[in-house]
Chains A and B, each alone.
Chain A
């Protein structure tokens, strides 16, 4: 009798569990999900948010193995916050929206200027959003950016999103900014957040010359390359998204942008580069530039000291390089010439780095390199550091940059 009742009890328990967990199962099962690949946030006409979701249909790999280009669909809703936007989207799409494979979150410039801390908090609080999602500030509107994100070489959009941010490791023109890092820097009292700067090129000529006309018109082509910035791109005749440069924030408000050479300096100081290509003025010929490929010998040494109440920051870099470009009638193995090239490179890099550092300090007042963390060691307790108010003292900082590069030789050819 007892055994019979015990068996009945077990059966009832199993039924209870089935009922209880099946509601979660229904909401999370793979058949009921719509996978969002990227998200964009704009300001709509009536000052609310316009939230765009980019989906791909999964019928990209068929049985026979050939894969067609995955079509992507973008839907937008007007809502007052991200969560209500997701809610509204759920009712349009029918399947439940799942953000766990969202690779990219794009904010438009207008949104970023107003402060995005509330949105960042909401996104981080969501259990589905990965902290390694890339965050992009777009110069055009976010959904325009998403529409034009077509991979040039891959079939799958998601692969493109995963890979493009890694190009920073060998070009240095963009950085891998994730929402986790953004959130960390937002909370931290000694550094400021940054995001990738994105934009869309068009075949239109007008857009092309906006930013570059702000630079000096006498600049040579090489300078134009290194001062490239999103939305003013060198890529012609193709309407595509591009990500060059960084967006700089002070707290959660967008305060400025960095172009490609400034992003390069940022990455150098952060030790995030494996190697980079740089155009240096040629010492033997005026108005001509040489391309050098530099690799860091050891990591950049940064020292922070407090002198007279202001930060005094010393940066020492050490590179070795090889000459990339070749010309007729040049002897690149001549030690005197190599020394001259090294000196020219040193001074060029020093000026570039110093310009960048003073821009962040004086113009933007945003310590995105995180020098404040190195200043911790000068304070005995946390309250001392808080009282010092690093973020305000940063604009009085004094920088001392030393670059030491030794140019070894060129790559394959040594003389011609």
Chain B
């Protein structure tokens, strides 16, 4: 259960900020079919990963890369993953804080909003991983309930005909270019690091497949909210698409403009995401460099994320980084690199076993 929640913690954060809009933009109204198609592929990939990782029970991808290529290779892979995580979370933080600033704090400079998150992150990282995953276990159901509530409360504003034309821009666009949408499943990167935290190794398969399935359903829900309600997203660019959807909720004259409550829950979720990702990065660094003490590294990582979130000069650049750079990075690193390492490691293991059996 906890591991499912961990996976969700990482997966959900990006969708809150900008992901559904990027997806809808790229494949227009064919997004529904596209998501189903991409989700099936993602489930197959996760099954493949499970099969490959089964042979190395209890070790995550860093250990596997050490097995494959020794210390140097391990260091390289570790650095690649740390940089991917840092860039991804830094850009997410920047985007989210920009949106917060626009909506709520027009006068405060961006530094302080990001600083608030960083200070919280620093305090929270001092606790151990199990307490963060426990808090995650409480927050994730809240987030899921909020999204379902968003879906249900907006049913009257839906126009299902937005789903047609069902193939969007054309078959080629939907299926081939739409393959890039698999970057939505960038949370697969977490699956590589999950095995050491699993308490019951025999449930690995169930955890992997269930998490992918639920992730796909959740993504479908998010995208359908955006697609059915806000047709103009196809032609304009709005920030925080789910937030815009939340602005339409109205129950009689009493419950109006409830989106601040949604934002409260989503801030909690983003904090969770940052904490989990940073904890994993710290553990990668510990493994790569054989450090014993965590405390000084915490400060290092929080400052790193702080610095990365200030790299883009304005919102346009950070949006560009999120929609394109992040997309290709996640496809390249999580899917291709990970699969290649796993396949090579399995190959090497099989060769070794054969040699041992012969000798």
Which residues of chain A have a CB within 8 Å of any CB of chain B? Answer: 13, 16-17, 20-21, 23-24, 26-28, 100, 127, 130-132, 159, 162-163, 180, 183-184, 187-188, 370, 373-374, 376-377, 379-385
Contacts and interface: CB of A to CB of B under 8 A. Distances in A.
Contacts of A188: 231-232
Contact of B231 (A28, A130, A187): A187
B120 to A, nearest CB: 12
Interface string B85-106: 0000000000000000011111
Contacts of B195: none
Contact of B165 (A26, A127, A377): A377
Given A183-B232, A381-B167, A127 B103 contact: yes
A27 B106 contact: yes
B112 interface: yes
Contacts of B169: 381-383
Interface in B51-73: none
B248 interface: yes
A373 B227 CA distance: 13
B105 to A, nearest CB: 4
A184 B231 contact: yes
Interface string B247-267: 110100100110000000000
B164 interface: yes
Contacts of A180: 247-248
A20 to B, nearest CB: 4
Given A187-B236, A382-B29, A23 B165 contact: no
B232 A187 contact: yes
B168 A21 contact: no
A382 B168 contact: yes
The dominant DSSP class at the B interface is: loop
B83 to A, nearest CB: 28
Given A27-B106, A377-B164, A380-B167, A20 B112 contact: yes
Contacts of A162: 253
Contacts of A376: 29, 161-162, 164-165
Contacts of A131: 247-248
A23 B105 CA distance: 9
Given A24-B108, A187-B231, A383-B169, 14 more contacts: A16-B112, A17-B112, A24-B105, A24-B107, A26-B107, A27-B106, A184-B232, A376-B29, A376-B165, A377-B166, A379-B164, A381-B167, A382-B28, A382-B29
Contacts of B247: 130-131, 180
Interface of B: 28-29, 102-109, 111-112, 115-116, 119, 159, 161-162, 164-170, 230-232, 235-236, 247-248, 250, 253, 256-257
A131 B230 CA distance: 12
Nearest to A129: B247
A370 B168 CA distance: 19
A48 B323 CA distance: 41
Given A27-B106, A127-B103, A377-B164, A184 B230 contact: yes
Contact of B161 (A100, A159, A377): A377
B106, B161, B168, B248 interface centre (most CB from chain A within 10 Å): B161
B327 to A, nearest CB: 22
A26 B235 CA distance: 36
B165 A17 contact: no
B118 to A, nearest CB: 11
A382 B234 CA distance: 11
A245 to B, nearest CB: 24
A373 B250 contact: no
Contacts of A16: 112, 115
A26 B162 CA distance: 43
Contacts of A132: 248, 250, 256
B236 to A, nearest CB: 7
Contacts of A163: 253
Nearest to B119: A13
Nearest to B103: A127
Nearest to B232: A187
Contacts of B257: 100, 130
Given A20-B112, A24-B107, A373 B162 contact: yes
A183 B221 CA distance: 24
B116 A17 contact: yes
A60 B102 CA distance: 33
Contacts of A26: 107
B108 A20 contact: yes
A376 B160 CA distance: 11
Contacts of B256: 130, 132
Contacts of B161: 373-374, 376-377
A383 B30 CA distance: 12
Nearest to A183: B232
Contacts of B109: 20
A163 B230 CA distance: 26
A385 B162 CA distance: 12
Contacts of A385: 165
A23 B112 CA distance: 12
